[in-house]
Chains A and B, each alone.
Chain A
Amino acid sequence: MTPRHTLHIVSGKGGTGKTTIAGALACALATSGRRVLVCEVEGRNGISELFDVPPLTGREERRISRTPVGGTVFGLSIDAEDALIEYLDTFYHLSIAGKALDRFGAIDFATSIAPGLRDVLLTGKVYEAVRRRIKNRPNSYDAVVFDGPPTGRIAQFLNVHAAVAGLAKVGPIRNQADSIMRLLRSATTAVHFVTLLEDMPVTETEEAVAALRPTQIRIGTVIENMVTPTPLNHDQLQTAATGSVALKVPGLTIKQNHAFAAEFAIEAARTLQEQQRHDRLTALGLPLAQIAFDPGGIDEGAIFTIAEQLTDQMSLEAA
C-alpha cells in the first residue's frame, strides 16, 4: 500500500516546534524499509541539531536516523545558490557558465533580487526530490518532508508562481513554476500546521489556513504541539482556576498547601485558555493531532515518541 501523500510541507510560527515536528513526521513515515527525506532551507541547521548529527552542507543527502520501526531518514539542507547552479547544469549543461555567473555576482544577484526566484529554486529542489520516484530516478524517496517557512510566510511562499507569472510570462522558470504548482496542488501533497495552544500561533494558523484555502493546495493536519492533557473536566478546572480550592496533600504543611493551590490555579487557568484555543482550531474543520508536552526537552528518544503519536493520530497510511 502506498501512502496518500508523498510530499508533506510543515509550517508553524517560530517557537512552536515546527522543525521537531517535521523531523518526527519523517520518522513516522519511515516505516519498515522505507526511505524518507526531510529537507530544510536557508542553512539553519535545525534538522542536524535536532538529530544531533554534523551540519548538512552542500548537496549531500545524508542518512540522519534509522527509525525503531525499520525505516531510514535522510536529511538535506537546501541552499538557493547551489540550487540555481544545479539547475543551470541540469537544464542547460551550463555548469561553466554557472561558475562564471557566480564570479560576476550574478548568482547572488539573481537569487536575491529576482523576486520569488529564491523561493522558486528552493521549492524546485523539493520538487526534484519528490519526482525522482515517479521518474524512476536513482536515490528516490518514499516520502519527502519539507520543513517549510513560518506560518506568516507560507501562503506567499507556496504561491510564488503568481509573482513569477507576473514577471516571467514565458521561459523555463515559468515552466518550472507551473510544474511545481501542479505538484503542490496535487492530491499527494499536504501542508501541515504546527501550533501551540497560545493566542498568537493560533491566530497565525487561522490566517494561514484562510490564505491557503483559495489556492487549491491541500491542508493536511493541524498539529497542536506541547499539549498538557488533563483528566479534569471543565467545571473542576474552573473551580481550581479561582484558587479557592483548599488542596490537602498529606505530608505538606498548611503553608505549602496554600502555595500549591495558588500554583495549581495558574495551571488550571492556563489549561482553560488552551481549551478555548483548541475550540478555535476545531472550528477550522481540519483534522487535528495533539502532541503531549515533554518536560524533559527534545532528544532522539523524544522525537520517536512524537513520531508514534503522529502515527496514531494522523492518517499517514504507511504500510
Chain B
Amino acid sequence: MTNAFESQPHAGLPVPFLDVDKIIGDRETKIIICCGSGGVGKTTTSAALAVRAAEAGRKVVVLTIDPARRLAQSLGVGELDNTPRPVSTIDTAAGGSLDAMMLDMKGTFDEVVMAHSTPEKAAAILQNQFYVALSSEFSGTQEYMAMEKLGQLHSEAEAHGTWDLIVVDTPPARSALDFLDAPEHLSSLLDGRFLRMLLHPARGPMRFMTAGFSMISAAMTKILGAQIISDVQTFVRAFEALFGGFRQRATATFELLSSRHSTFLIVATPQHDALREAAYFVDRLTEEGMPLSGMVINRVHSSALAISPERALSLAEDLAGTSAVMEVEALRRHANLMRVIETESRMMERFASARPAVAQTQVQSLPTDVTDLAALRRVGALLSDKD
C-alpha cells in the first residue's frame, strides 16, 4: 500500500518553475501572449509583466483588451485608445520604456480598410450596413483585430526599433480557443466557396451548380431577408481586393506566433474551471507546435500559520460563548482559509500530475485590488518569486 502510494506521479515530483525574469531577460523573446479564461487576472498579469520588463530595460508595448478603467489609470494613462501611449511613471533607469494601448476593434478594422483601398472604395465599405455590423458586433472580430494590431505593432517595432517586446493580453474568449481559431476561421470564410458563389453565381466552373445555388440562395434569402444578402454582396464586392491581404497577414501573424521570438503564458487560478480551460490551452498549443513557456497561477492562498482547520475549529469551539469574539472569528476564518488551501493544492496537484512538463509560477492572493503602479510592481515581484 505504502509503495503504491509513493509511486504516484506527483508524489515528491517537483513542478518545473516558470522563470518570468528569464523570459523577459531574453532579448530574443519579442512577443509574450497571455491567454486563459475570463476572470483569472489576465490583464493584470500582462500589465505587471510589461512593467517589470520595462523596468528591467526592455522597450515594451502592452496591448490590452478592455482593461478595467482603474487599471488604465494605474498605468498613468487616463484613457487607453487605439494608439500606444507612453507610461511616464515607470522607472527608466535601466534604459527601458513602456507604452500601453487598448484595442479599439472597430477603429482597427477601419484603419485596415482605409490603408488598403482607394478613398472611394474605403468610403463605400465604411458606410455599408453589413460592414458596420461586422466590424462592431461579430464575435470573432475582436480576436481577429487583436491579431491584426499585433501584426502592425510588430512591423513598427521591426522597422523603427520603437519596441523590443510586445506583451499581448488576449480577448476574454467565449472559448479558450477563439484567439487561435478566429483569424483562420474568418479568413477561410472570407474566401470560402459560399462567398465566391455569392459574388459570381454563374461564372466559370461554378456555372453547372447554378441550379443548386439558386435553391441555396433562395433559402438564405428566406432566412436572412433579401436585404442582408444584397448588403453582403455589395460589401463583398467592395471588399474583395482586401481579402488576399487579410489572409496573408493572418498567416504571417500565425507564423510569427509559432516562431521562437514568441511565447505563450497561460493564466489561471487554482479553481476547477480555470484549470480545465488551462488544460485545453496546453493541449491545443502543444498540438499546434506553439511555443508555451508555462503557466501563471494567480490568487493562490497561503497561510503562515500551520494550524489545521480541525484544530482551529476545535479551539474556536472551546472559546465559544466567552468574551473572545475576535479569537473565535479569527479561528473560523483560519479554518476556512486552510480548507481553501487544501482544495487549491488538490486541484493544482491533479493538474500537475496530468501535465507534469508545464512549468508554473504562483502568485499569492492579494488582500486588495491591483489599481496602481506599486501594486503592479508587487505582482511582478510575486510572478518572478520562486516561492
Interface of A with B (CB < 8 Å)?
Answer: 13-16, 19, 42-44, 46, 49, 84, 87-88, 92, 94, 97-98, 100-101, 104-106, 108-110, 112-118, 149-150, 152, 156, 163, 166-174, 198-201, 203, 228, 230-232, 236, 240, 245, 247-252, 256, 259-264, 266-267, 269-270, 273, 293, 295-298
Contact = CB atoms under 8 A, between A and B. Distances in A.
Given A13-B38, A228-B336, A236 B219 contact: no
A115 B216 contact: no
Given A94-B219, A97-B216, A112 B138 contact: yes
A256 B38 CA distance: 37
Given A116-B133, A199-B70, A168 B337 contact: no
A236 B326 contact: yes
B319 A296 contact: no
Contact of B212 (A100, A110, A163): A100
Contact of A263 (B224, B334, B368): B334
A114 B326 contact: no
Interface of B is mostly: helix
Contacts of A94: 219
12 contacts: A15-B269, A105-B193, A106-B194, A113-B232, A152-B66, A168-B224, A199-B371, A228-B336, A247-B330, A249-B327, A269-B367, A296-B343
Q: In the complex, which of the residues B174, B189, B224, B340 has the most CB atoms of chain A within 10 Å of its own CB atom?
A: B224
B38 A150 contact: yes
Interface stretch (B26-34, B111-119, B299-307): B299-307
Contacts of B175: 42-44
Contacts of B195: 109
A231 B269 contact: no
Contacts of B231: 167
Contacts of B337: 263, 267, 295
A108 B212 CA distance: 18
Interface stretch (B56-64, B272-280, B378-386): B272-280
A248 B371 CA distance: 35
Interface of A is mostly: helix
A97 B137 CA distance: 28
A174 B223 CA distance: 9
B339 interface: yes
B331 interface: yes
Contacts of A46: 273
Q: In the complex, which of the residues B195, B197, B327 has the most CB atoms of chain A within 10 Å of its own CB atom?
A: B327
Contacts of B140: 112
Contacts of A87: 223
Chain B contact residues (Cβ within 8 angstroms of A): what range? 35 or more
A228 B335 CA distance: 12
Interface of B: 37-40, 66, 68, 70, 129-130, 133-134, 137-140, 172, 174-175, 185-186, 189, 192-195, 197, 212, 215-216, 219-228, 231-232, 269, 271-274, 276, 303-305, 307, 315, 318-319, 324-327, 329-331, 333-334, 336-337, 339-340, 343, 347, 367-369, 371
Contact of B223 (A15, A172, A251, A252): A172
Contacts of B339: 295-296
A115 B228 CA distance: 10
Nearest to A269: B367
A42 B269 CA distance: 22
A193 B189 CA distance: 35
B189 A109 contact: yes
B224 A117 contact: yes
B330 A110 contact: no
Given A104-B193, A297-B272, A200 B228 contact: no
Nearest to A241: B367
A108 B189 contact: yes
A116 B224 CA distance: 11
Given A14-B37, A106-B216, A259-B304, 4 more contacts: A94-B219, A97-B216, A101-B220, A296-B339
Given A15-B39, A256-B305, A115 B133 contact: yes
Nearest to B314: A251
B216 A101 contact: yes
A265 to B, nearest CB: 9
B66 A109 contact: no
A77 B343 CA distance: 29
